[in-house]
Structure 1
Amino acid sequence: MTRSPSTASADVPGIPLDAAEFYRTLEESNSREWWVAHKERYAVSVREPMAHLGDVLTEEFGEPKLFRPNRDVRFSKDKSPYKNHQGLFVPTSARMGWYVQIGADGLRTAGGFYASASDQVARYRTSVADDIAGDRLVAVVATLSDNGFEIGGDVLATRPRGIPADHPRLELLRHRTLTASRDHGTPEWLESDEVADRVRSDWVALRPLVEWCDQYVGASELPGRR
């Protein structure tokens, strides 16, 4: 007898490949009706495996947060009700820490500084401009880049006000947020317990970036932004 995707996925020790297929199909049929009809599949192929992954990594990295599948469409022109991926985040300070997601393109790991309150951006740029803290970040970013991580974040198109055009760390100073990520796609090991080892390895590599952000940026101290 042919098993349904949700039933077949229940026996997978890692993240089922059906999780990526789930999101590929969702991209074509992003509606409440489709979601309700596939709610059990989401639970078995996506939510439960991701929650288990977070549980496995909790002792080493901290308590994870599994994001809700619903999009906040209040201020968006795109009214699609559901996200095209399932994310899991382990915070150190508010909106900075380690991240992993499964989506149509497969598994992505990431980490860094995701918040952009004005006081956080100011502390970030002050630290990057400092020769000791700034050079430390340059080394961290270079190591991550050399090891296959993509450096990203919210970046200004021009240089920040007051920063000279020849500043040695201009590219980093243009950032309002700073992250590093790696896309793994949908390899065979995704369905095995090796997925936890792979995510752990990436998060260990990302630890210097997370710790730098936590030390020099930290949580916002503005009212309502903690």
Structure 2
Amino acid sequence: MSERMERRKKERRNEIMDVTEKMIARKGVQGMTMKEVAEEADVAIGTLYVYFKNKNSLCAAVNARINRQMRVMMEEESASCSNACKKIRATIDVVFEFREKYPDKWSAFKELLLLNYDTENIKGIYTNNGSNLDINDFKDISDENIRDLLLEDKKMSQLMKDIYKQGIQEGCIRSEIDLLPTIIFMRMALFTALEPLPYAQRMLEAENIDPEHFLEVVLDLTRHTVRPKSSEKR
């Protein structure tokens, strides 16, 4: 395939994902069909299936692209910070910035968080302590877009893991914490606080708790979770 054809194929794939992203933001995953995506993207339905073998595959590709954009923003912001605690704060700020700057992407992202993917056998892929991240870690996953999404998840975890390790060395993060479960918990807590699930929304409304105040409490609790006691600080 010529370089021009390859470039056009990549552009067309991104155009399809742009349409899908906006459609998910507007109608939700359940309200979106492959036929509607093909019509709005102005491609034949058969062509759409050349790029994405099914709806799950298409959603995984969109999800991976949003995650990648958010992660790159985090890497850029944290790179200019002088210590790990500032880097952690910067990654949290990026999530807020992303929500405000890209409302359609954020709406799509919220929907995609609730979607289950056929990830086959992924047991143990996050336990590799090395910093080498390779698509071969997911060689048992048949769909390339789901592999890409899993790789983005792993890259995000690795970014946070590196920051937390730096924090432990600097003495602003407790040394005894189990890194990966802690990082996953922090991410889950932040996203749940930003966009509470329906049952959580009901509880907040019933107790007359302002969502922004709830978010502040969650952020304060997560900071205290990893902060060492005064006597342990260097």
Q: Which has the higher contact order (CA 8 A, sep 6+)?
A: 1
TM-score by length of 1: 0.28
Q: TM-score, normalised by structure 2?
A: 0.27
